[in-house]
Chain A
Amino acid sequence: MAQAQTTHATTEAHGGAHEEAGFPPFASETFGGQLLWLAITFVVLYTLLSRLVLPRLSGIIENRRTMIAGDLDEAAAMKSRAEEAGSAYEKALAEAKGRAQALAQETRAKLSAESDAKRKALEADLNQRLAESEATIAAKKAEAMGHVHGIAHDTATAIIERLTGKAPAPQAVEAALNQIKA
């Protein structure tokens, strides 16, 4: 207690009118000084916080928010671009497939047309040869038939000459042959 008393005494000596054994929070003579320094401190604190610290702090938070939002937007844009590329690829693939099919069709048609043409040419050639052969056969046959008449004439003349001993008149043989033929 003695120490406390000493402190009180020195406080009194420095600060002036101090209530002995008073309750410090209710010592009204200290109010003015406390209020003065509270006002100074709080005004300075408020000014520094509102002008300097809080703009910086909310700037950091705001900056992060916009950055995240920007990143998300960018990711969405990238995704849509990737989807676009995917659909373009699919379209290209479908187109290529269609073209390949058309090409195959065309080739097939061309090949079948070619083979048709070849076959037709071959057939025509064969037909022609057939016709030629037939014509040759007919000619040979006609020729042979022509020879038959001569042979028959000669044979008939020879036979009659052998039977009768004398050669018949060619006109009579001819007439007889023509009679048989008719």
Chain B
Amino acid sequence: MASPIEQFQIKPIIPVINFTNSSLFMIGAAAVIVGGLLLATRKRAVVPGRAQSVAEVLHDFVANTLVDATGREGMKFFPLVFSLFMFVLTANLLGMIPGFFTVTSHIIVTFALAMLVIGTVVVYGFVKHGTHFLGLFVPSGVPGWLLPFIVVIELISFLSRPISLSLRLFANMLAGHIALKVFAGFVVSLLAAGGALTILAPLPLLMAVALMALEFLVAALQAYVFTVLTCIYLNDALHPGH
């Protein structure tokens, strides 16, 4: 039987251009997003149908999350935040289909997305506010002798953001898929063991079903968490100084 981590294996498809199963599912996710949204909105109906309602709900959901965290002026980042949310959500959910590769279960992918967010924050912060952006690390109303410590803590907290942002998503997807695979493996092992153990096989199956439901929740929730944190970090770029 395959090991639980075999599902994370990167398998080349077209080695010359480094095209792998990961690349395939990235493109698949993008295709599902763009194709699905275009299909859903093709009628441009004033009274939306089911598919168009879903597309509008996704739009409004991300827009509200962004505006709540950053205010109206944050809407200039809406395409970025929407792309991130949709990409992470779709990649997570595609990974839930048995046999499909989970793009977001690789730390390099989630780290790259996190660095994209932090890079945007830093570049926009400096371009828009210049050195005033550094005020992010100097909270107001702190006693002078405490300031060096606070600045160091703020700096560490800022630098750990891309790590925590990427690790959270990566670890959730990885752990969930491993747990699913382990319980599914138990079912097969118990069936193969024969005798009294075979009778116990439905128990890990029930567990696997329950975990499946939980993983769907996690897939959506982690996409949301990633998006909310992105919005909060973007707020720092828009309004530095606490």
Contacts and interface: CB of A to CB of B under 8 A. Distances in A.
Interface in B41-58: 41, 44-46, 48, 52, 55-56
Main SS class of interface, B = helix
Given A37-B20, A44-B30, A56-B44, A14 B15 contact: yes
Question: For the side of the interface on A, what is the size category?
Answer: 35 or more
Nearest to A2: B1
A11 interface: yes
B22 A11 contact: no
Given A1-B3, A35-B108, A45-B87, A60 B44 contact: yes
A54 B78 contact: yes
Contacts of A170: none
Interface string A22-43: 0111110011111111110110
Contacts of B55: 57
B211 interface: no
Interface stretch (B4-12, B143-151, B213-221): B4-12
B145 to A, nearest CB: 43
A101 interface: no
Contact of A48 (B18, B34, B108): B34
B108 A41 contact: no
Given A11-B11, A33-B23, A35-B112, A24 B18 contact: no
Contacts of A25: 8, 105-108, 170, 174
A16 to B, nearest CB: 8
A44 B109 CA distance: 16
B18 A46 contact: no
